Structure 1
Amino acid sequence: MFRWFENRLNPYPVEEPTAPPTGLIPFLWHYSKPAAPYLALMAFIAALVAFGEVYLFRFLGDIVDWLSTANRETFLADEGWRLAFMGALVLVLLPGLTIFSSLLIHQVLLGNLPMISRWQMHRYVLRHSMNFFANEFAGRVSQKVMQTSLAIRETVMKALDMFVYVITYFVSMIFIVAAADRRLVIPLLVWIVVYAALLWYFIPRLRKISADQADARSLMTGRVVDSYTNIATVKLFSHAGREELFAREGMDGFLETVYRQMRRVTQFQALVYINNAVALFAVAALAIRFWLESSITVGAIALTLGLVMRIGGMSQWIMWEVTGLFENIGTVYDGMSMMAKKHELVDADDARPLVVNKGEIVYDDISFHYGKEGGVISGLSLTIRPGEKVGLVGRSGAGKTTMMNLLLRFFDLEGGRITIDGQDVSKVTQDSLRSMIGVVTQDTSLLHRSIRDNIAYSRPGATDEDVIAAAKRANAWDFIEGLSDMQGRTGLDAHVGERGVKLSGGQRQRIAIARVFLKDAPILVLDEATSALDSEVEAAIQESLFGLMEGKTVIAIAHRLSTLTEMDRLVVLDRGEIIETGSHRELVETGGVYAVLWKRQSGGFLAEDDTVAGEAAE
């Protein structure tokens, strides 16, 4: 039975995720739409339960009147059918509705509804550009995905379940009391007006505080996660104390919003209690007066006082529910500011998969500035022939890595175009583009999964034999065989820790190289691919790297110029412009900028000196 209800709502919608609207109601509807029929049914049942509970008070008043005047000998004969109906309401109808409502809420909605939001948000965030993630804490993004999805559930379900229940309850109460004695409705209406005024005054203020609190919570969490993510840096500089203060500033900001919220809650609670007490006193006083005048029955008094005491307790519940509701609304608003951001990089409407037959790459008069003044790359043109191996040389900031990022379309060009076999990279699908390019970067980041998963990430479905062959070609198999983790998993099953922290830099780099070996893409980009390797290991895999390059178009970036000497052609960049091109031998013999860089190497690495180009010119 439980499984049947749990399967009523698919938590993983297959539709492609789209940018949600920015208004609160449209934003909530965007993520709750798949669950709309079940949410409507939940609200309808809440209304039925509210009406049934109010009707029980009517029955209580009737019982008091019956018992006051009824003949014991004929009581069951006279009122038996009413008693049977109320027995069925108490024993069958209300429990049945409550059980069905519980199955609907707990089995259908509570788990599946936030997962629908979480799934859609996660898929949408994954498709954001690199620029988006460069400007956000990873912990902050993940926290907002998790918090916002839960807040959407709480907001939608509380609003429907609570408000429908409360409105039905209050409306039914007014009609029931009016049927007993219209005069007793007056203090109840006054109570409702005062209570509504208190809600009208406090709710916007609590909502504002809740929005501030959600933002402060995200900042606090982001600071804590940032410390954990960069724990090696914290330890290296002995800054645990400094990180404590950094986190405490965030915690202080969050705690201040909690204090502000609790002050308002205390004021709200005190005024609500006073309003309840006055309402109870007024109704009781009027009821006694009318009884003394013999114008009201004892049953009507029992009915009215029972309802007033019930709504007194309910008002406290409503207060806490409303407070929680608007705390969640604040969280939704906070998450909306991030989740509603449109993708900076999207596939063109008519984008087709990239087809690579030869591997020719053409940078055609490209310009790109990262949105800053001054040119990173301005009017650069470069043609890389099919199967050619080109090394990019230049000091930091010359534009080498930018050229790689633009080829992969991590950013869109501001001018010109880049083509692969004549196909504009901005006109093909991003997934197909990146599937045709194997990349090894200097900053190798591994997933917190097994060695097997990390290597096979480039080719899902690869066999263990394929994975092992790639690891051997990258000179990684020897250390993989000896790996084990805290759970006792060994070899390919061993997990590498967050970002591969359990491995050395050289080991991470070899796993990354093995991953590209397995991918076997027709275009290869090496961005400081061997910088984390010692000379002995580098020499051991150099032959394998050249084997990997065979038949591929290669772009290699390295500060260690000795790794580029075997390239077919070297391209020297300075401030986003090509200033020299030729083979290693040709450039050294020419005596230009590259020759100066070659001579000024220290330990085989490129010297970082802005005056090098000037010296060469002299």
Structure 2
Amino acid sequence: MLQRFELLLDPFPPDEPQPPPKGLFSFLWACTQGSRRYLAALALLSAAVSIYEAWLFAFLGQVVDLLSVWQAGAAASSNERRVLWGIAAVLALSVGLVGLRTMVQHQVLAINLPLRLRWNFHRLMLRQSMSFFSDEFAGRVTAKVMQTALAVREVLLTFTEIVLGISVYFITIVALAGGFDLRLMLPFIGWILLYGLAMLYFVPRLGKVGQEQAHARSSMTGRVSDAYSNIATVKLFSHTRREAQFARAAMEDFKETGFRQMRLVSRFEIVNQALVAALIFTSGGYALWLWHGGQIGVGAVAAVMAMALRVNGMSQWIMWEMTSLFENIGTVQDGIATLSRVAKVQDAPGAPALKVTRGEVEFDRIGFNYNGERQVLDGLSLTVRPGEKIGLVGRSGAGKSTLINLLLRFYDLDSGRIRIDGQDISQVTQDSLRGAIGMVTQDTSLLHRSIRDNIAYGLPDADDAQVRAAAVRAQADEFIRHLSDPQGRSGYDTLVGERGVKLSGGQRQRIAIARVMLKNAPILLLDEATSALDSEVELAIQESLKEIMKGKTVIAIAHRLSTIAAMDRLVVMDQGRIVEEGSHAELLRKNGIYARLWRHQSGGFLGEESAEAAA
């Protein structure tokens, strides 16, 4: 039965999620999509259980009244039997009621709801633009995805149990007290009003400090995660102590918010205890006074005292639950700004998939700047013919990598158009665009998975033979067969570590090249593709690259000009514009920027004399 309830709410809905709204209540409402019927059922069941628990005090009063007149050893009267059978029936039904509530709460919602939210939040973050991740810590984003989902669950369940269930509970208690004597309602009503005023004072303040604490927690997590992600740099510069102090500054901020929160909690607890003591004294004393006057029975005194004592325990629980509620609300509010952010780069409505038939790439008077701060490209036009292989040359900051990023549509243009086979890339789906492009970068990043999974990332349906063939062509098979990890995996099953840290730079580059070879996309981008390789391996890889470049449109960036000198055409960029075009020999004869860059090559590359000879 429990497993059937666990299957009622799908934690991994297939529909693509939409960015949630920014308002707190509208955000929470959006998060309940697909689970609202179960939350409503939980609310009704919690209210029913609250009525049942409060009604037990009325039965307690009836039992005490029965005992006061029931003689020991005497047979039970019909009235006494009716009361006892009524209590037994209610207790029996309560098992089913409480069982149903706990199955809805713990089997349907407790695990499935936060998993559902994390699944949706994670998919939203994966769709974010590159500029989003440039401005955020990976650890901070991860913390918000994980923490916000859990906080939403706690807010919804606490609201259902506290605000709805306990409200019904207190209303029932007041009504039952009034059933004995209307005047017995007064102490409970007075306590509810004063407790409500205390909540109005403390809870918003706890919510505010909870939000500040959530922000401090995510900053602390981000700093710690950043140090771990860049541990090689930290070790290289001997900055372990500095990183510890950097994290400590965030921990100090978290500590201050924690102390402020606990001060409020202590004050709230003292006020709460004072109110409860006053309730027990006034309700118990008033009930005894009415009993002494013969206006109520001894059962009413027992029931009222039991109610007051129960409120004593529940008020402490409510206080902590409300504190937790507003701390979780603070966590949700802290996560909303990140999780509700709309991706800057969006597919056009109804965008079709890109269809590459020839592989022509056209940059038509494009303009681009980063956040309005610096104009990187200004009116640049360039056409790469189908199957043509061009090399982009220029000083750092000339706009070469930006041109590649715009072709991949990591950013949207400020002006102009980029077309592939006449199709505006802003009007086709991003997935189909990037599926038609293979790229090898200088900073190769691998997933913390097996060698096989990393190579097959270029073609997920590839079999082992295809993966191995790609590795052989990339000159990677030999070193892969000798790899192993501490878990006993070896060869293509070896895990590479976070970002491929277990491999050398050259090994990572060869894995990346194998991945692109397996993808076999019609357009190939090379950004310093062989920069991490030694000369002998580079020579072998160059032969492999020549093979996969056949029949493809290729755009290559290289600071070592010797690696792209044989391209069909070289395009020289400077300050976001094209200043020279032509073959290697033609550009040397022009004696412009390219010729100067070529002459400056040294340390094992062709020098000035070779350049002049080539001219």
Give me the TM-score of the superposition, normalised by structure 2: 0.97
Matched, 1:317 2:317: yes
**Amino acid in structure 1 at the alignment position of 2:380:** L
What SS class does the counterpart of residue 525 from structure 2 fall into?
Answer: strand
Counterparts of residues 90-105 of structure 1 (less than 5 Å): 90=91, 92-105=92-105
Counterparts of 2:89 and 2:253, CA distance in 1: 55
State the match for 2:143 in structure 1: 143
State the match for 1:597 in structure 2: 597
Q: Write out per-residue CA displacement over residues 563-591 of structure 1, whole angstroms, 9 at most, x where no aligned residue.
A: 01110000000001111100011111222
State the match for 2:194 in structure 1: 194
Q: Which moved more, 1:283-292 or 1:198-207?
A: 283-292
Counterparts of 2:567 and 2:245, CA distance in 1: 51
State the match for 1:4 in structure 2: 4
State the match for 1:611 in structure 2: none
What SS class does the counterpart of residue 367 from structure 1 fall into?
Answer: strand
Q: Is the 8 A contact 1:211 1:327 kept in 2?
A: yes
Q: Which moved more, 1:24-33 or 1:356-365?
A: 24-33
State the match for 1:332 in structure 2: 332
Q: Is the 8 A contact 2:62 2:83 kept in 1?
A: no
Q: Write out per-residue CA displacement over residues 489-520 of structure 1, whole angstroms, 9 at most, x where no aligned residue.
A: 11111000000000000000000000000000
Counterparts of 1:262 and 1:279, CA distance in 2: 25
What SS class does the counterpart of residue 533 from structure 1 fall into?
Answer: coil
**Amino acid in structure 1 at the alignment position of 2:561:** L
Q: Is the 8 A contact 2:361 2:421 kept in 1?
A: yes
Matched, 1:129 2:129: yes
Q: Write out per-residue CA displacement over residues 172-203 of structure 1, whole angstroms, 9 at most, x where no aligned residue.
A: 10110001011111111111110000001001
TM superposition shift of 1:350:
3.1
Counterparts of 2:372 and 2:600, CA distance in 1: 31
Counterparts of 1:311 and 1:43, CA distance in 2: 21
TM superposition shift of 1:53:
1.1
Counterparts of 1:340 and 1:253, CA distance in 2: 26
What SS class does the counterpart of residue 578 from structure 1 fall into?
Answer: strand
What SS class does the counterpart of residue 15 from structure 1 fall into?
Answer: coil
TM superposition shift of 1:71:
5.1
Counterparts of 1:543 and 1:454, CA distance in 2: 22
Q: Write out per-residue CA displacement over residues 41-71 of structure 1, whole angstroms, 9 at most, x where no aligned residue.
A: 1111111111111111101111111121235
**Amino acid in structure 1 at the alignment position of 2:264:** R
State the match for 2:82 in structure 1: 81
Q: Write out per-residue CA displacement over residues 239-287 of structure 1, whole angstroms, 9 at most, x where no aligned residue.
A: 1110111011010100110100000000000000000001111112212
Q: Is the 8 A contact 2:362 2:419 kept in 1?
A: yes
Counterparts of 1:548 and 1:74, CA distance in 2: 99
State the match for 2:18 in structure 1: 18
Matched, 1:408 2:408: yes
Counterparts of 2:241 and 2:343, CA distance in 1: 39
State the match for 1:449 in structure 2: 449
Identity, in percent, stands at: 55
Q: Is the 8 A contact 1:11 1:115 kept in 2?
A: yes
| Cα 1:268/1:585, change in 2 over 3 Å | same
Counterparts of 2:65 and 2:605, CA distance in 1: 99
What SS class does the counterpart of residue 132 from structure 2 fall into?
Answer: helix
What SS class does the counterpart of residue 34 from structure 1 fall into?
Answer: coil
Q: Is the 8 A contact 2:206 2:326 kept in 1?
A: yes
TM superposition shift of 1:336:
0.4
State the match for 2:612 in structure 1: none
Matched, 1:287 2:279: no
Counterparts of 2:289 and 2:101, CA distance in 1: 42
Q: Is the 8 A contact 2:562 2:606 kept in 1?
A: no
Q: Write out per-residue CA displacement over residues 545-576 of structure 1, whole angstroms, 9 at most, x where no aligned residue.
A: 10010000000000000001110000000001
What SS class does the counterpart of residue 579 from structure 1 fall into?
Answer: strand
Counterparts of 2:420 and 2:165, CA distance in 1: 62
State the match for 2:165 in structure 1: 165
State the match for 1:60 in structure 2: 60
What SS class does the counterpart of residue 378 from structure 2 fall into?
Answer: strand
Counterparts of 1:605 and 1:333, CA distance in 2: 57
Counterparts of 1:171 and 1:70, CA distance in 2: 32
Counterparts of 2:340 and 2:373, CA distance in 1: 28
| Cα 1:163/1:299, change in 2 over 3 Å | same
**Amino acid in structure 2 at the alignment position of 1:188:** F
Matched, 1:176 2:176: yes
Counterparts of 1:25 and 1:308, CA distance in 2: 34
Counterparts of 1:530 and 1:21, CA distance in 2: 45
State the match for 1:616 in structure 2: none
TM superposition shift of 1:606:
11
Counterparts of 1:549 and 1:354, CA distance in 2: 21
TM superposition shift of 1:165:
1.6
TM superposition shift of 1:5:
1.0
State the match for 1:427 in structure 2: 427
Counterparts of residues 208-287 of structure 1 (less than 5 Å): 208-287=208-287
Matched, 1:582 2:582: yes
Counterparts of residues 394-543 of structure 1 (less than 5 Å): 394-543=394-543
Q: Which moved more, 1:78-87 or 1:64-73?
A: 64-73
State the match for 2:610 in structure 1: none
Q: Is the 8 A contact 1:528 1:559 kept in 2?
A: yes
State the match for 1:368 in structure 2: 368
Counterparts of 1:309 and 1:353, CA distance in 2: 68
Counterparts of 2:592 and 2:335, CA distance in 1: 54
| Cα 1:606/1:212, change in 2 over 3 Å | farther
Q: Write out per-residue CA displacement over residues 77-109 of structure 1, whole angstroms, 9 at most, x where no aligned residue.
A: 33212211211222x211221122221111111
State the match for 2:298 in structure 1: 298
Counterparts of 1:606 and 1:171, CA distance in 2: 89
TM superposition shift of 1:605:
7.3
State the match for 2:613 in structure 1: none
Q: Which moved more, 1:219-228 or 1:290-299?
A: 290-299
Q: Is the 8 A contact 1:459 1:518 kept in 2?
A: yes
Counterparts of 2:314 and 2:245, CA distance in 1: 43
Give me the TM-score of the superposition, normalised by structure 1: 0.97
| Cα 1:281/1:417, change in 2 over 3 Å | same
State the match for 2:39 in structure 1: 39
Counterparts of 1:399 and 1:16, CA distance in 2: 35
State the match for 1:614 in structure 2: none
Divergent runs of 4+, >4 A: 604-607
